Amino acid sequence: MTFNSIAFLIFYPLVLLGYFISRRVGGKVGKNMAWIFLLAASYFFYLYSQWELIVLILFTTIVSWLCSLRIENLNTRQEKAKEQGEADDRFLRNLKRQKQLCLLLTLVASLGVLFYFKYANFLMSSGVSLVAFLTKRNFVYHPMNILLPVGISFYTFQTLSYAIDVYRGDIKTERHFGYYALFVSFFPQLVAGPIERPGNLLPQLKEFMPITRDDVQRGLRKMALGFFKKIVVADLIAVYVNAIYNGVDAQSPVPGLSIVLATVLFAVQIYCDFSGYTDIAIGCASIMGIHLMKNFDHPYRAKTVREFWNRWHLSLSTWFRDYIYFPLGGSRCAKWKHLRNVFIVFFVSGFWHGAAWTFVIWGMLHALYQIIGILTFPLREKLFSRMGISSKNPVLGAVRCLNTFILVNFAWLFFRANSTTDMVALLKNLFTPSAWSFSLTEALKVMGMTPVGMVITILSVVLLGLLDQAIRHWNEPDEGEVVTRSGVVVLVVWMVALAWTILMQNDLTSSFIYFQF
């Protein structure tokens, strides 16, 4: 079930109705009814999409919960032994080995399922290609018929963060299986995030704090913004992007300008598609009085690639930071180790995004950006200092922002390419002088964009900017400012946005991009 489907437009109001009724009961009975109802709704949400793979989420949930319970019990035994002075080195080593074994079992179970369903064909195909290359023989690999479970990369990371936090002693294990199962499967963020941490989401699913009018208003505004991003902007732009990226022909030249325009449009598309999903997810949860973490913070305003990753897909970026980058040593180590850690994180990030070399190359390219930035930082700071240019100079800021946008867009080409063959063909056309002999009119024609289509696209993006600014102003007014002063402007923007959404709505079945990850 997707957010932009008729099924969800029926499902969500019914869930709200049942949830509000269960909460109205009050006391322990109402509390139990609320979490049971939400858990049932969440499993129905998943069953509606892939009923035959529900066993996978149940398996990872049960294994991670049982192993975490065991780790918690071992932690308790360790604390009691220390208090009673009975914790000798041999005893502590034995407990540590048992804890490590439980954590390893969780990792093997969760990552094993992820690797089989998402990466088995990719790894086998790559292995066969490597053997064929080394032996100079022709081998053909016939892919296995494996169905990719929806949201597996997201809920797997959520169970892993829980087990690791319990192992570290950062949180206490949740002994109520129902609450934990709801944490893993909570339907608004189940399929494409945000990847929630147990310390934030679990307490909310247990306590069910009072729902305020502000929660409902913020939720409705977030959902409206998300639907606008997806239906009006992302799905509209997708037509022009697909015309280039899905029509790559190594024999026929594609205008270089068409590739550039399609890539820039894809940057807008993937932002609106993915942040649109998380806006809807955050809005759905907010209406129920549950607050999910922020996942995007205007990433294309970033002045460096590092800042871009501090603004883009925050739940994933912070996950890699806390569970891979910091344990490896982060930046508090030798320079070469720091650079190694950066490379590993972005290699894993690329691999996480998809079972294709295009995603791996995309990740390594971002690693290269970061490494070059780290190595050249002292030189750049020294140069700006000698030139008397402040780091807060607005002109310098604009140049750095544009430079970052160009680098990120170049990387998006690898991300969007359907295969390495398409990737090579696109790069060849991009850097072939003859591919730039086409005029702007011809380049737009290849994309299927008419003058009217171009105007509609520009107006949609501009209206999105106004809507986003209006919502930000409404939700987070400047200090000492009365929000009602801009009420008329906000109302007008909302009315225009609603009318535009209705006019532009053409497909309530298009999937979100990050569903494939």
The letter for the amino acid at 204 is Q
Q: Which of the listed ranges 144-153, 325-334, 366-375, 427-436 does the model predict with the highest average pLDDT?
A: 366-375
Torsion sign (Cα): 58, 64, 70, 75: negative
Q: How far apart are CA 306 and CA 390, in angstroms?
A: 20
pLDDT at 480: 40
Residue bearing tokens 């720091």: 338
Q: With contact defined as beta carbons under 8 Å apart, do 347 and 365 qualify?
A: no
Tell me how long the chain is.
517
Give me the chain's average pLDDT, please.
Answer: 83
Q: Would you state the structure tokens that stand for residue 34, as one six-digit string?
A: 């609320």
* pLDDT-derived band at 482, boundaries 50, 70, 90: very low
- List phi, psi (to 5°) of 191: -85, -40
pLDDT (0 to 100) of residue 30: 57
Q: 27 pLDDT band (50/70/90 cuts)? A: low
Alpha helix ranges (H) inside 208-296: 213-227, 235-245, 256-287
365 class by beta-carbon count within 10 Å (0-12 exposed, 13-18 middle, 19+ buried)? buried
Q: What is the mean pLDDT of residues 458-472?
A: 77
HEC string of 75-123?
Answer: HHHHHHHHHCCCCCHHHHHHHHHHHHHHHHHHHHHHHHHHHHHHHHHHH
Whether the per-residue pLDDT at 62 is higher than 60: the answer is: yes
Stretch 248-259: mean pLDDT: 78
pLDDT class for 511, splitting at 50, 70, 90? low
Return the minimum-mean-pLDDT range out of 183-187, 385-389, 492-496: 492-496
Residue-wise pLDDT for 191-200, tens only, equals 877 999 998 8
Statement: residue 281 has pLDDT above 80? yes
Q: Which residue has the higher pLDDT, 421 or 131?
A: 421
Contact in structure between 221 and 475 (CB atoms under 8 Å): yes
CB 186 within 8 A of CB 38: yes
Range of weakest confidence among 17-31, 162-176, 377-391: 17-31
How many whole angstroms separate alpha carbon 298 and alpha carbon 312? 8
Q: Which long-range contacts (CB under 8 A, 24 or more apart) does 92-95 make?
A: none
What is the average pLDDT across 15-37?
79
pLDDT of 503: 54
At 402 the pLDDT is: 93
The predicted model scores a pTM of: 0.87
Q: What pLDDT shows up at residue 119? A: 81
Pair 363, 346: CB distance under 8 Å? yes
The top-scoring range by mean pLDDT among 145-154, 336-345, 384-393, 487-496 is 336-345
Phi, psi of 255 (to 5 degrees): -55, 130
Q: What is the pLDDT of residue 469?
A: 74
Residue 59 pLDDT: 92
Position 499 scores a pLDDT of 54
Quick one: 340 exposed, middle or buried, by C-beta within 10 A (0-12, 13-18, 19+)? middle
pLDDT confidence of residue 29: 62
DSSP string for residues in 316-345: HHHHHIIIIIHHHTTTSS-HHHHHHHHHHH
Distance (Å, whole) CA 415 – CA 80: 51
Report the alpha-carbon distance of residue 391 to residue 305 in Å, rounded: 16
Which residues, in sequence order, are CB contacts of 354 under 8 Å at separation 6+? 516, 517
The alpha carbons of the chain give a radius of gyration, in whole angstroms, of: 25
Structural tokens at position 84: 């009673």
**Per-residue model confidence as pLDDT tens digits over 154-187:** 889 999 999 999 998 888 888 899 999 999 999 9
pLDDT tops 70 at residue 363: yes
- Closest Cα to residue 99, out of 134, 75, 123? 75
pLDDT band at 220 (very low <50, low <70, confident <90, very high): confident
Residue 134 has pLDDT above 80, yes or no: no
Position of tokens 């969780």? 106
Show the tokens assigned to 208: 């069910």
Residue 273 CA: distances (Å) to CA of 59, 153, 226, 235, 412: 30, 18, 8, 8, 14
Structure tokens at 307: 């800042």
For residue 485, is pLDDT > 50? no
- pLDDT at position 475: 59
Place of tokens 């003058």: 451
Cα–Cα nearest to 303, from 401, 408, 399, 373: 401
Q: Omega before 394 cis (within 30°)?
A: no
pLDDT surpasses 50 at 462: yes
Answer yes or no: is pLDDT of 95 > 50.
Answer: yes
Q: What's the mean pLDDT in 125-138?
A: 75
Q: Name, in order, each residue with C-beta under 8 angstroms of 351's C-beta and a sequence gap of 6 or more.
A: 119, 359, 360, 363
Tell me how crowded residue 492 is: count the other CB atoms within 10 A of its CB.
Answer: 12
Band (pLDDT 50/70/90 cuts) for residue 1 is: confident
Question: Which range among 317-321, 344-348, 383-387 shows the weakest confidence by mean pLDDT?
Answer: 383-387
Q: Which has the higher per-residue pLDDT, 83 or 194?
A: 194
The yes-or-no verdict on residue 126 having pLDDT over 80 is: no
Q: Is the pLDDT of residue 321 over 90?
A: yes
Given phi > 0 = left and psi -120 to 50 = alpha, else beta, which region is 330? left
pLDDT at 441 over 90: no
Write the DSSP string, 264-282: HHHHHHHHHHHHHHHHHHH
Q: Which residues contact 453 (CB under 8 A, 6 or more apart)?
A: 240
3-state class percentages of the chain: helix first, strand second, coil last, to nearest 5: 75, 0, 25
Rounded-to-integer distance, Cα 387 and Cα 398, Å: 17
CA distance 147 to 50: 9
